[in-house]
Amino acid sequence: MYHEEIFGTEAFSGVYSTLYHEHAPTGVAQIKKLRELNVSEWRPDTHRHHHIRTKNLESADDVVEGRQPLFYNNDVFISSVRPNGSMDSFFRNAQGDELYFVHEGKGTLESVFGLLPFHEGDFIIVPRGTTYRMTLDSKQSRFLIVESAGPIEVPRRYRNDYGQLVELAPYSDRDFRHPEKLVS
């Protein structure tokens, strides 16, 4: 007997996935604010370009708690992180979708959807409410993270009426990978 879970980001009116578990999903160990982010608006005297040297950021424990804020507005929060190792526990961002760009390193994103191997140059999208953790296989890793208040999805101009990518899109269906192995 499998345990069924309906996962969607817009309740029952949007796109959803039906997840089947061999074992009932584990209970929540703790709900907490990870840390207080004291970001303040920076107003330069003149508008000029800046080189943000994210490679020089200090390393941190993991990809969630070690995020260093770079830019933000009402729609997105952009940060960077150089994690020392894998995440000890699972994490769920209930406030927004997350997009990871892998600058350096390789590993596996383990989620309720399965195992997704990643490597340098990959973009990883984690929908709001997805329970996941990252296991890192390399000693040095570096990520750029975009947390979005709205859904991260293919822009409408690159999709036809049926949701397929149009030929003029800057990427192809072949560019997308999905989790390989389901661990329930």
Residues 6+ apart with CB under 8 A from 154: 165, 169
Report the largest interatomic distance among the alpha carbons of the chain, rounded to a whole angstrom: 64
pTM for the model: 0.86
> pLDDT tens digits, residue range 124-137?
999 998 999 999 99
Residue 25 reports pLDDT greater than 80: no
Q: What is the pLDDT of residue 157?
A: 95
Assigned architecture for domain 57-175: Sandwich (2.60)
Q: How many CB atoms lie within 10 A of CB 15?
A: 12
- The proportion of the chain whose per-residue pLDDT surpasses 70, expressed as a percent, equals 95
Sign of the dihedral through C-alpha 145, 151, 154, 156: negative
Distance from C-alpha of 20 to C-alpha of 74, rounded to nearest angstrom: 35
Q: Specify the DSSP class assigned to residue 2.
A: P
Residue 97 reports pLDDT greater than 70: yes
Residue with tokens 């993991």: 62
> pLDDT tens digits, residue range 111-120?
988 999 999 9
Mean pLDDT of 90-119: 94
| 134 burial level (CB within 10 Å; 0-12, 13-18, 19+) | buried
SS3 76: strand
For the chain, domain boundaries: 57-175
Mean pLDDT of 149-157: 93
Binned at pLDDT 50, 70 and 90, residue 106 comes out as: very high
| Residue, of 9 and 81, whose pLDDT is higher | 81
